[in-house]
Amino acid sequence: MAITISATKKSSLRGTPAVEIAYDAGTKLDEILGAQRAVFANKALAKAIGFKFCGGCYSGLDLIIKQKFEQVIQR
């Protein structure tokens, strides 16, 4: 199962820094939580997207976790 992590300086939700974790169907929860831990441990990522934080506090970071879809449904 594949997990994709992407980051942006301005999310479409609030215009603040955000990280998206997208996973394939069948991905185990432990793998998703591992990706989340990797995001929080990566201080260089936080600085690259302009997220200002103190210590272990990530309050204010939009963290979006969603399943990938193989086909996009269009109307």
The answer to whether residue 39 is domain-embedded is yes
Specify whether the CB–CB gap between 50 and 10 falls below 8 A.
no
User: Does 38 reside within a domain?
Assistant: yes
For residue 35, give its domain range: 3-67
**pLDDT score of 3:** 94
Domain count for the chain: 1
Angstrom distance (rounded) from CA 61 to CA 53:
9
- Residue 36 belongs to some domain of the structure: yes
73 lies in a domain? no
For each successive 10 residues of the chain (75 residues), what is the average pLDDT? 88 84 94 92 84 67 86 68
Q: For residue 74, is it within any domain? A: no
Tokens 């996973």 map to which residue? Answer: 23
**72 in a structural domain:** no
